[in-house]
């Protein structure tokens, strides 16, 4: 039986969109970023660089991706080469809570599906780092999991057991207060159903053939139990968890 961290397991099956709101949430975020070819962009927890490659292809901006997962960075480098985006994207190992960059280095910081994995104190440290490396007027674009009911302790416990990560998702108001507490203004958000494992969302994110490939791989003997467990959770209890995409701005002065 496979017993891997959820996003790594899905990546092994061939899933390319590993964020809770899939292409819907990421597209909304990118629409808020005001990207140009002159933008200097940092993607924190870039994983395989799916978002960075999309940005580089669309805007021809300069992007730095950081992640703690060396294996994910190797895959990212391979994907960047395959896309012909080596002159626009570089990746390196880095910790969100201690970014290896000077103050006010970037116009835009993107961070998808990582803050949920940190406790509140660590979330605050990471967001403070994003503030530090952003230029005045810069934008922070985040994408995570939010709670839609007041008491969801049992659902969170089951989510942790299902994806093998000690996640700490928060209500919408807490995500907004996290950003405002760091000094960000113009905090705007969008939320909606998570798409990781439901059929309609997977087809939208991965295409029909991609979805069929993921399901076929998931039903292989070594993967079947974890695949069924994740599918069952996200299509039952997990329906009370939403994605949240948040755009926040650092003041100009």
Q: What is the 3-state secondary structure (H, E, C) of 130-182?
A: HHHHEEEEEEEEEEEEEECCCCCHHHHHHHHHHHCCCCCCEEHHHHHHHHHHC
pTM of the model: 0.90
Write down all domains in the chain, each with its CATH number in brackets: 6-248 (3.40.50.150)
* Close Cβ partners of 159 (under 8 Å, ≥ 6 residues apart): 167, 169, 233, 237, 238, 241
Strands 106-112 and 40-44 come out as parallel
SS3 state at 39? coil
pLDDT of residue 2: 59
pLDDT of residue 4: 86
Encode the chain (253 residues) as per-residue pLDDT tens digits. Answer: 457 888 889 989 999 888 889 899 999 999 999 999 999 999 999 998 999 999 999 999 999 999 999 988 999 999 999 999 999 999 999 999 999 999 999 999 999 989 999 999 999 999 999 999 999 999 999 999 998 887 888 889 999 999 988 999 999 999 999 999 999 999 999 999 888 888 888 999 999 999 999 999 999 999 999 999 999 999 998 888 999 999 999 999 7
Which ranges in 33-145 belong to alpha helices (H)? 50-59, 70-83, 120-133
By C-alpha distance, which of 100, 103, 114 is closest to 45?
114
Cross-strand bridge partners of residue 55: none
CA–CA separation, 44 vs 65, rounded Å? Answer: 6
Strands 134-147 and 106-112 come out as parallel
């Amino acid at each position: 039986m496979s017993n891997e961290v959820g996003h790594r397991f899905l990546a092994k099956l061939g899933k390319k969109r590993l964020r809770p709101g899939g292409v819907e949430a990421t597209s909304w975020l990118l629409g808020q970023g005001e990207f140009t070819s002159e933008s200097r962009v940092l993607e924190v927890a870039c994983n395989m660089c799916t978002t960075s490659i999309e940005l580089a292809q669309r805007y021809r901006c300069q992007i730095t991706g950081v992640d703690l997962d060396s294996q994910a960075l190797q895959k990212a480098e391979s994907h960047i080469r395959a896309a012909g985006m080596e002159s626009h994207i570089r990746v390196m190992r880095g910790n969100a809570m201690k970014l290896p960059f000077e103050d006010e280095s970037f116009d835009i910081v993107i961070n998808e599906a990582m803050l949920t994995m940190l406790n509140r104190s660590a979330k605050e440290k990471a967001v403070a780092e994003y503030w530090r490396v952003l230029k005045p007027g810069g934008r922070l674009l985040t994408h995570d999991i939010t709670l839609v009911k007041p008491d969801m302790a049992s659902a969170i416990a089951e989510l942790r057991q299902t994806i093998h990560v000690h996640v700490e998702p928060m209500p919408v108001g807490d995500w907004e207060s996290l950003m405002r507490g760091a000094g960000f203004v113009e905090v705007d958000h969008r939320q909606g159903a998570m798409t990781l494992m439901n059929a309609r969302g997977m087809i939208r994110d991965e295409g029909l053939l991609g979805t069929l490939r993921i399901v076929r791989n998931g039903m292989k003997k070594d993967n079947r139990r974890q695949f069924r467990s994740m599918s069952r959770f996200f299509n039952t209890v997990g329906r009370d968890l939403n994605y949240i995409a948040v755009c926040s701005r650092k003041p100009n002065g």
